[in-house]
A and B are shown apart, each in its own frame.
Chain A
Amino acid sequence: MSAPPTHVAELRDVYMQFDEKKVLDGVSLLVNPLDRLVIMGQSGSGKSTILRLILGILPPNAGSIFFKQFEITRLQRRKLQQVRRHIGMVYQYSALLSSRTVRDNVALPLEELTDMSREEIDEIVDAKLDLVGMKDSRDSMPSELSGGMKKRVSLARALVMEPELILFDEPVAGLDPVIASVIDELIISLTEKSQVTSIIVTHEMDSAFRIGTRMAMLYQGKIIEDAPPDQFKQSNNPVVAQFLSGSTEGPILEGSQDAITTK
């Protein structure tokens, strides 16, 4: 066996296709420890697909995906389930179980995957809810919470198993700017405090530059730019430049249906 890998996750030449639509066309990506890697790209460009591939929920058409030394694509179900315990995921719409209270939602992984007693679980749940500032809503149902609060509970649930990697799918989409900043700061402070690596998928510019320690741009199924935020801003790539400026003039809309409707 070679030396233990220094990266947390890796995509190696990954191809992914849904029906006729090519989503990922040879994507390679290395995620180093303590990175806060922001993946940007247009809506529907396959950003979220990358997260699902890392979790092993979708199998790629070709290529391999690693989490630490484990090749996700080759793992048996049981092993895959064990690996997933080390990865936390925060969904765009939080994906809290609507029939369970906040406490039960956060406690779920602990109840199902560990042998802890109820008291121990309660202690951890309270600590994590406290971290995200949701301790008072412990006994609320998800339907009673606002979008931002749900996001925070979802973050607490992702943290509860002490993961090594947290995946965020559009963490601030649909939130107002103030709450979005709160969530951003929460992500930064929690990942720093718990020494966790994270991958954030977003197309909200402000949020991306606030959180990211590294930025990658996904365009037409390929990573076309991968750099620290300040270098990323200065990128010569016309696609990146257009994406950052939000201009309608440039290569992104060329030949696409959207371009035709804007004319």
Chain B
Amino acid sequence: MANTHTGNTAQSETLSANPVVVVQGIGQLGRSFLREVGAMFWFIAHTLDETIDRIRQGRVPFRAASFFEHTERAGVESVPLVGLVSFFLGLTMALLTGYQLARFGTERLVPGLVAIGFTRELGPLLTGIMLAARIGAAFTAELGTMKVSEEVEAIEAMGIGPLRFLVAPRMLALFFLMPCLSTISNIAAIFASSLVCRAYFNMAFVYFIDLVRDALLIRDIVTGILKSLMFGLIIGGIACYRGLSVRGGAAGVGTSTTSSVVTAITVVIGVDTLYNTIYTVFFPT
């Protein structure tokens, strides 16, 4: 009896303390979130600043070889992955929607559906997620290891700006490659859906192409490309920022790499949603 009584008091005490704890927790979360966003913003701003400063001195900000090395790794080597995943997704999308639409005899909507779906939304999003996992992780681990082994500090100590030297070529490579990769993703998906349309819904390739061209607007393509550019910057920024803020040896590199991938994917999806919301509010239909 006495036990129950004290148990109740303890429970009511934790209950009464709860709102404060919850608010505190939210406050702390909010604060660390804002701090991260702020740090990330300044990180990108400082990188830009260092790079522009260097250009103003009349020198190239980084060697072309360094830039192309990253584009090769981030871009060319990602083509098979991005192409294959988009191809399979295009197949699935065409199949699933095709069978549903066939019941109403409107399967000729499939080409347009896949084309618009991919150029506006899935192409950039899928590519973003894959690049965050594949390249974001690599960048973070690479820069993190450099940071831990004092290489970054050594670069700084020589009087070379590490942001310009290490971060700028990586971010720029991702920035320019994202649109290319998402275009490849679009093409792979549309090609896959054309195969499905040919095999199951008896659509000739020429007819398929006509339907795609009818459905696609320049606006859809531009939206997709703008999104890709933005995602490239976000993934590059987060990956490099996490890499250079690694603390505490090998374990730190691991933690930062995981956090880099998770953050980049979450932010990419979040920004995508925000972008779509704003876009549909200002440019309906």
| A109 engages B159 (CB within 8 Å) | yes
Task: Give the distance to chain B from A51, nearest Cβ to Cβ, in Å.
Answer: 9
Residue of B nearest to A113 (CB): B159
Residue of B nearest to A160 (CB): B158
* A161 contacts across to B, CB distance below 8 A: 158
Is the CB of B53 closer than 8 A to any CB of chain A? yes
Residue of A nearest to B150 (CB): A95
* A52 contacts across to B, CB distance below 8 A: 153
A interface, how many residues as a size bin? 20 to 34
| A91 engages B159 (CB within 8 Å) | no
User: How many angstroms from the CA of A93 to the CA of B151 in the assembled complex?
Assistant: 10
Residue of A nearest to B59 (CB): A115
- Which of the listed residues B53, B146, B156 has the most CB atoms from chain A within 10 Å of its own CB? B156
| A109 engages B153 (CB within 8 Å) | no
| B157 engages A87 (CB within 8 Å) | yes
Is the CB of A30 closer than 8 A to any CB of chain B? no
User: How many angstroms from the CA of A113 to the CA of B53 in the assembled complex?
Assistant: 14
| B160 engages A91 (CB within 8 Å) | no
* B155 contacts across to A, CB distance below 8 A: 97, 108
| A113 engages B160 (CB within 8 Å) | yes
B120-160 residues at the A interface, CB under 8 angstroms: 145-146, 149-151, 153-160
Task: Indicate with 1 or 0, residue by residue over A26-68, a CB within 8 angstroms of chain B CB atoms.
Answer: 0000000000000000000000000010010100000000000
Please name 18 pairs of A and B residues whose Cβ atoms are closer than 8 Å in the assembled complex, sorted by A: A52-B153, A57-B156, A77-B161, A78-B53, A81-B160, A85-B158, A89-B157, A92-B150, A95-B149, A95-B151, A95-B154, A96-B154, A97-B151, A98-B145, A108-B155, A108-B158, A109-B158, A109-B160
Chain A residues proximal to chain B, CB less than 8 Å: 52, 55, 57, 77-78, 81-85, 87, 89, 91-93, 95-98, 108-109, 111-113, 161
For the A-B complex with A96-B154, A97-B146, A98-B151 known, give 8 more contacts whose Cβ atoms are closer than 8 Å. A82-B159, A84-B159, A87-B157, A96-B151, A97-B151, A97-B154, A111-B63, A112-B160
